[in-house]
Amino acid sequence: MFKKILIATDGSKHSEKAAEKGIEMAKLSNGTVTAIYIADIGKEYAPIGDVSFNIADEVIEGMRNSLMKRGEETTKVVEEMAKKAGVPAQRVVLEGHPASDIMKFAQDSKMELIVIGSIGVTGLDKFLMGSVAEKIVRNSKMPVLVVR
């Protein structure tokens, strides 16, 4: 079984279901979980096509603070779920590109499994896998569990 499980969360219902499964697996193997949230700051104010927007620094900082706060809140929910189940847990909130930084953290931290929800907060069609989950499945060098 997997002893070191990384649970990627974004606060969506799918990521909450993923957290439940990841915690359940950790409990069965006497393992630990780490809840990770990557704040994709660049995505929030990226230019559209050839049009670039000059956004005031304080607006960007406000978006950054909002996303980092969301990360703290969503990882705390997973941490509390794990503690309630008797599973040791920690939280990580980083700024970057979700798919690549989740995989990098998992590899650097010697995680054994990445658990992620099939669809994130973007509300993509329920028949399509979310873009972050899909990128991780396609590119991860370690096992990935995608939860619907």
Residue 65 corresponds to which amino acid? N
Where do runs of H (alpha helix) occur along 29-56?
41-44
Q: In this predicted structure, which of 25-34, 50-59, 134-143 has the lowest mean pLDDT? A: 50-59
pLDDT of residue 127: 40
pLDDT of residue 53: 56
Mean pLDDT of the chain: 88
- Over residues 61-95, the pLDDT tens digits come to 888 999 999 999 999 999 999 999 999 999 999 99
- Supply the angle between the helices 57-84 and 13-28 in degrees, to the nearest 10: 40
Domain holding 96, by residue range, is 4-147
In whole angstroms, give the CA distance from residue 57 to residue 144.
Answer: 37
The CATH number of whichever domain residue 66 belongs to comes to 3.40.50.620
Structural domain total, the chain: 1
pLDDT of residue 120: 63
- Over residues 17-47, the pLDDT tens digits come to 999 999 999 999 999 999 999 999 875 455 5
